[in-house]
Amino acid sequence: MSDPRTTNADLVELSVPASSAYLAVLRTTSAGLGARLGLTLDDIEDLRIAVDEACAMLLPVAQPGANLQCRFELHDDVLEVLVSVAATHTTLPGPDSFAWTVLSALAGDVRSSVRDGRVAITLRKKRG
């Protein structure tokens, strides 16, 4: 992920309880930032679904009482979304899984990482 302090990026960070009840907040933020980037309505909907799917992959591994951290970096032609959670274990569906295939089709570039007890999924949605 690039450093927004050294690039022309707007940064939005949200922290919500790791519960499906709060995913609407992240979906709505995704849609608003996608619109700001100038994505088409179809691409905005794909982004909303991708963020929801990434969160759904993280919720089962979240530590009790943990928060989902969501970081949105808005660049000139791409929105990068990093969703992470403190995890009880670090096993996510693999790149050959149906969930990963759906995520990649919706978001384009998708990566996962594990660092300091946190599991993260990064999505990059490009304009045009």
Domain 10-126 listed as CATH 3.30.565.10: yes
Dihedral-angle region of residue 11 (phi above 0 means left; psi in -120 to 50 means alpha; beta otherwise) = beta
Cα gap 86→108, rounded to integer Å? 25
Dihedral-angle region of residue 2 (phi above 0 means left; psi in -120 to 50 means alpha; beta otherwise) = beta
Cα gap 82→85, rounded to integer Å? 10
Q: Where are the domains of the chain?
A: 10-126
Per-residue pLDDT of the chain (128 residues; tens, 9 = 90+): 445 445 678 999 999 999 999 999 999 999 999 999 999 999 999 999 999 999 999 999 999 999 999 999 999 999 999 999 999 887 777 778 888 888 888 988 899 898 888 999 999 999 87
- pTM (predicted TM-score): 0.88
Q: Are the C-beta atoms of 68 and 62 separated by less than 8 Å? A: yes
